[in-house]
Structure 1
Amino acid sequence: MAKKIAKRLQALQAKVDSQKIYDVQSGVSAVKSLASAKFDETVEVALRLGVDPRHADQMIRGAVVLPHGTGKKVRVAVFAKGVKADEAKNAGADVVGADDLADEIKNGNINFDIVIATPDMMALVGKVGRILGPKGLMPNPKTGTVTMDVAKAVSNAKSGQVNFRVDKKGIIHAPIGKVSFAEDKIRDNMLELVRAINKLKPTSAKGKYIRSSSLSLTMSPAIKLDSQELMDMK
């Protein structure tokens, strides 16, 4: 199986000009042509930013609702009580609870992709933070997942909200749809994501904000993009 995958990647690599820089439209077309898996591969964008995540003011983190969604069915868990719990359920949350939800998490029952919490629940959420944190599930005000408006947060999550943050190397990886999406939908999703990231450029960041960028599929090599075109997206 490993040899088969390696062979496929080599064949795909041969189709990619590693020196070429693509504009967004051409890049989307090129990456779609690399689809080779038997499943609907995810299209991912990678942006290397000119920031130092060790500085708090340069830790780029946020969320954006993609206009055409991600193509993935998202399961949402909400920490809330009373009226807010009812609002979350009515909005379509898959799991709603408080102490009982925390117990489920402690027991390893984590069958959801996003966790939302009302502010008053954060002390409780903190008790399972060591479990949620490493999985990227910890609620955070910057991503709109710590909020009193749980109905809107659930709706956003179900509609294709993507949470993003730079890693230690200053790179953001984010899904922007499926390879089965039409080219214009992938492009629209990418533009929405890039605009959100551009708005978060810290004043302390020096030099080019987007140093390099690329598009890839789950099982494909990367297509290099014109980073200047992305930085010009407002």
Structure 2
Amino acid sequence: MANVTKKRKAITEKVDADKLYSFDEALALLREFKAAKMDETLEVAMNLGIDPRHADQQVRGMLSLPSGSGKDVKVAVFARGDNADKATAAGADKVGAEDLMEDMQAGNLDYDRVIATPDMMGVVGRLGKVLGPKGLMPNPKLGTVTPNVEQAVKDAKGGQIEYRAEKMGIIHSGIGKMSFTDQALKDNFEALTGAVIKAKPSGSKGKYVKKVSLTSTMGPGLKIDMSEAEGA
């Protein structure tokens, strides 16, 4: 155990809290912190120059990561008839209507994504106070209210993620597993940061991307140099 502690201390001493690392440098350093018994997640935090309390300064969207997320996403779908069958065939973990609503009202909310067909929103609307606080309320702007539930389920299961600025204007998102190749993780990082920069709201004034940091589940947070990112 002492050897592990010494090794970790030696790696920690390499971290410069003030340095702006390139993505490649940061990833290489985080790989040295790799835990032996778990496939850690690589996570990005973006501090934005916005105030999400204002309607014209909100940043939120869906993104299909080019290399996938590596996460097992649990999906619930509100649909009837043929659409329900398609959602089930596409791999949805739970499909239903009023029965699914009642199940969620009882506290069964272990889902990462909730999708609904437009005709089911009368039922889903009763779950606003349940799904809203968890960020699970289906939304047509995010593609989670759609007649094509089959594709929506496949997208969710295939590595599509939602990014959303929290109250302090910070976006937190996992972009893959540390078992991914360097290039796969870099592709995902560039896809996320590019999407967020492109989504700059009209109400954002001054510097938009204030700080970007990269970390792994067991690793330190490292500041990333975004000076070359267009619009940052």
TM-score (norm 2): 0.90
Where does structure 2 lack aligned partners over 5 or more consecutive residues?
none
| Matches for 1:24-173 after TM superposition, within 5 Å | 24-36=23-35, 38-173=37-172
Is the Cα–Cα contact under 8 Å of residues 9 and 219 in structure 1 kept in the other structure? no
- Aligned-partner Cα distance in 1 for 2:11–2:165: 28
TM-fit CA distance, 1:207 = 1.4
Paired letter, 1:225 = I
- Aligned-partner Cα distance in 2 for 1:9–1:148: 51
Deviates more, 1:127-136 or 1:79-88: 127-136
After superposing on structure 2, the runs of 4+ consecutive aligned residues of structure 1 that deviate more than 6 Å are 6-11
- Aligned-partner Cα distance in 1 for 2:136–2:116: 11
Is the Cα–Cα contact under 8 Å of residues 11 and 32 in structure 2 kept in the other structure? no
- Aligned-partner Cα distance in 1 for 2:36–2:167: 30
Deviates more, 1:135-144 or 1:6-15: 6-15
TM-score (norm 1): 0.90
Is the Cα–Cα contact under 8 Å of residues 74 and 111 in structure 2 kept in the other structure? yes
Q: From the superposition, tell whether residues 7 and 220 of structure 1 become closer, same or farther in structure 2 (CA, over 3 Å).
A: farther
- Aligned-partner Cα distance in 2 for 1:12–1:114: 37
- Aligned-partner Cα distance in 2 for 1:147–1:160: 18
Secondary structure at 2:173's aligned position in 1? strand
Secondary structure at 1:68's aligned position in 2? coil
Is the Cα–Cα contact under 8 Å of residues 215 and 222 in structure 1 kept in the other structure? yes
Match of 2:192?
Answer: 193
Where does structure 1 lack aligned partners over 5 or more consecutive residues?
1-5
Secondary structure at 2:205's aligned position in 1? coil
Is the Cα–Cα contact under 8 Å of residues 163 and 173 in structure 2 kept in the other structure? yes
Secondary structure at 1:211's aligned position in 2? strand
Per-residue CA distance 1:136-165 (angstroms, 9 max, x = gap)? 222122321111111111011000111111
Identical-pair percentage: 51
